[in-house]
Amino acid sequence: MESSGNSSQGFMEIETGAENLDGSTVFHLIKEILGFVLYMHHQIPSVLQHLETEFDALKEECKNLESTVTEAELNATSRRKHNGRVREVKQGIKRLEKLMNAISSLLSALQNMLTEIPNIQRVVLVLGGSLVRPQHVYEIFFPHGRFVSASANECSKNKAAEALSKKAIRALISNGAGARSYAGPAKLFLLVKAPSTSNLSDHFLPKRDFKYSKKIVPFRLHINCRIHDQYMDESHPTSEASNLINLLDDSSTDMIWFQCKHSIKGLASKASLEEE
């Protein structure tokens, strides 16, 4: 069950009911939260799944329009309609292409990272003009760090991943995530905390000095593997407060931040422009 957790630290506890998480489940969880952040803060015009479907449909339609009908086969009226639709579809692709390519690059980098280094402690999504001046911060904590070996490159979302993602999104909504006013197009940055010895791909670079303003109150999701957590509680009793303090401790030299080289720049919100 979700709960607000320790209010002073802003934690939301999410129970998975599983003993371990695999890379595929973690990937889908982060993707869903990323899509939620972009949509709720008006950086994309529709939910990510619908946007991906729309973009793929536009590309497929453009391909069909250009390959299946030649101008010789159309009369003047039909040709005008056909050419008009081609222009409309291409404009739709151009409007979304840069955004969708950025999302795809970031998610591909995340997939590869989870496959190569299935041992991360925290994931942070920062939305704003820059890392040092964020508007919103979302942190996802994995207290036991290591995931089982299922590849993050498995594209199909299993029931466990779907259930966990729904719990996380419900917890964020119930705690007011995304409820603030629109402040214009922003960039979304992805960072992960992993062992300093990690040999990540070229898509991630060390960011040892990563910190953001204390004025920003982050949304924090604490992902619990219930069965494993219960075992740990019995074997090594420790208070919840101590666990949270350990997770927030950035002084350890064993775990450092890595920043994804790819960021996502949101689109201007039409609703917001109309209000102005």
Q: What is the pLDDT averaged over residues 242-266? A: 74
pLDDT value at residue 273? 45
Tens-place pLDDT, residues 223-233: 987 654 444 44
Helix (H) or strand (E) holding 127: strand 122-128
Q: Whole-angstrom Cα distance, residue 17 to residue 154? A: 21
Helix (H) or strand (E) holding 15: strand 11-15
User: Could you tell me which residue, 271 or 70, shows the higher pLDDT?
Assistant: 70
Tens-place pLDDT, residues 54-106: 999 999 999 888 876 665 566 788 888 888 999 999 999 999 999 999 999 99
Q: Whole-angstrom Cα distance, residue 254 to residue 236? A: 21
Q: Tokens in use for 128?
A: 């704003």
CATH topology of domain 11-275: Cell Cycle, Spindle Assembly Checkpoint Protein; Chain A (3.30.900)
pLDDT value at residue 255? 87
pLDDT value at residue 200? 75
Q: What is the pLDDT averaged over residues 105-119? A: 89
The yes-or-no verdict on residue 183 having pLDDT over 90 is no
Domain layout of the chain by residue ranges: 11-275
Lowest mean pLDDT among 169-178, 201-210, 234-243, 255-264: 234-243
Q: Whole-angstrom Cα distance, residue 12 to residue 168? A: 9
- The contacts of residue 28 (CB under 8 Å, 6+ apart) are 157, 161, 162, 165
Q: Whole-angstrom Cα distance, residue 54 to residue 267? A: 15
Nearest to 188 by CA among 26, 45, 44: 44
CA-based end-to-end distance of the chain? 41
Nearest to 194 by CA among 274, 139, 122: 122
Mean pLDDT of the chain: 81
User: Could you tell me which residue, 167 or 154, shows the higher pLDDT?
Assistant: 167
List Cα–Cα distances, 272 to 37, 232, 275, in angstroms.
Answer: 17, 49, 5
Place of tokens 């050419």: 83
pLDDT value at residue 232? 46
The pTM assigned to this predicted structure is 0.82
Q: What is the pLDDT averaged over residues 126-150? A: 83
pLDDT value at residue 121? 86
